[in-house]
């Protein structure tokens, strides 16, 4: 996700600093080169050795460390980074950055920083909502800095409210567009994801075990590369970032209506959702009672074919991509669907991928079939985007 990217992690002095260690670990795990700058207050919570161990790099703490200044001065550190992340961004640190106070190494670096900066605030709710902090955030946003969080939850002081440091994974999602190539800028993509639920009564429904993780990963990756992205999300699809325009639906009919409207004149429509092919012909009010029954017959009727309908629209998207989850003869079944549904390409995969963190399969278009090895879904999303782009090559 961050392979080859250089991230400067500025660590403020707050109790949430212990969660920043996980952020550093995740950045390294995703291929980033990470250098840390700790404020004097941060060093009172966690030792620099913690972050040196996680990143394999020297941690910078002192403005007047002559050896460090000679080898990597504050201006060189500011210019070295593809992006700077400040976590936790305390109320004190935000105030200093907003008002140009340079009283330690990190605030001095931010005085000369010209590239992307992501702030991850963490503090008590009262401090976050104070007029001074609200104004400081406005100033920093006006300067082009980006903010992720804070989240609502239990705080270190025992209170509950907004002020909790965003989860490390959420910070990564917010950081990704700041360091990704915006080669999809100006495009509009529509992606559907997850299962649909077809109610039988007010308790039971017909569905499947899809989680929508690949569709979500694809949407976040498309957003990271600069496209306008609309995600039509079925129930159980995990939360998405603010970079994604999300449209939550429940039934296949609702997903059909949303996709058909949003897909008009789009650049790309990708149907990753495990849509229910049938719904109950008659929905029961209340809860059906067993009442001694040993057998039960219900009537099902077909639901609309979303991807085939989108592919046949007068204002059809420039590219329409289908997904097919199969149990056997994956490529043969997918090739049949490619013709029947009128799509430009189809990604075939095994139903065993549902709900897992990894997936692989076959990329099939009218000219060829390519095997895509199993890999984390975030990486698979990048591969699929490149495959879609190659359709125009």
β-strand pairing of 205-206 with 198-199: antiparallel
Q: 257, 260, 263, 218: which is closest to 237 by C-alpha? A: 218
Tokens, residue 96: 């200093």
- Return d(Cα 191, Cα 308) in angstroms, integer: 14
Asked if 324 and 346 count as a contact pair (C-beta separation under 8 A), the reply is yes
Q: Which residues are catalytic?
A: 157
């Amino acid at each position: 996700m961050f392979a080859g990217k250089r991230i400067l992690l500025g660590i403020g002095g707050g109790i949430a600093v212990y969660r920043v260690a996980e952020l550093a670990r995740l950045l390294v795990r995703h291929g980033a080169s990470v250098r840390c700058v700790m404020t004097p207050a941060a060093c009172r919570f966690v030792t620099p050795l913690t972050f040196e161990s996680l990143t394999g790099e020297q941690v910078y703490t002192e403005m007047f460390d002559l050896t460090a200044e000679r080898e990597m001065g504050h201006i060189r550190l500011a210019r070295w980074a593809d992006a700077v992340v400040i976590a936790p961004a305390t109320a004190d640190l935000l105030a200093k950055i907003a008002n140009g106070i340079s009283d330690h190494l990190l605030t001095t670096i931010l005085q000369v920083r010209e590239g992307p900066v992501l702030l991850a605030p963490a503090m008590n709710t009262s401090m976050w909502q104070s007029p001074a902090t609200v104004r400081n955030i406005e100033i920093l946003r006006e300067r082009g800095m980006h903010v992720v969080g804070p989240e609502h939850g239990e705080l270190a002081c025992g209170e509950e409210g907004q002020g909790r440091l965003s989860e490390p994974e959420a910070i990564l999602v917010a950081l990704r567009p700041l360091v990704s190539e915006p080669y999809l800028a100006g495009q509009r993509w529509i992606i559907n994801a997850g299962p649909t639920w077809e109610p039988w009564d007010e308790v039971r429904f017909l569905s499947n075990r899809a989680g929508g993780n690949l569709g979500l990963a694809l949407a976040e990756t498309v957003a990271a590369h600069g496209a306008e992205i609309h995600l039509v999300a079925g129930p159980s699809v995990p939360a998405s970032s603010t970079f994604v325009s999300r449209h939550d639906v429940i039934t296949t009919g609702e997903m059909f209506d949303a996709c058909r409207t949003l897909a008009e004149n789009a650049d790309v429509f990708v149907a990753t959702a495990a849509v229910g092919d049938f719904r109950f012909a008659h929905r029961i009010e209340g809860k059906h009672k067993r009442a001694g029954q040993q057998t039960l017959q219900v009537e099902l009727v077909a639901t609309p074919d979303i991807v085939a309908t989108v592919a046949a629209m007068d204002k059809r998207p420039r590219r329409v991509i289908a997904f097919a989850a199969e149990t056997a003869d994956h490529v043969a079944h997918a090739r049949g669907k490619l013709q029947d549904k009128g799509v430009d390409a189809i990604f075939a995969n095994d139903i065993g991928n549902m709900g897992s963190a990894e997936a692989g399969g076959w990329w099939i278009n009218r000219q060829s079939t390519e095997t895509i090895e199993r890999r984390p879904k975030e990486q698979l999303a990048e591969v699929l985007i490149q495959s879609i782009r190659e359709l125009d090559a």
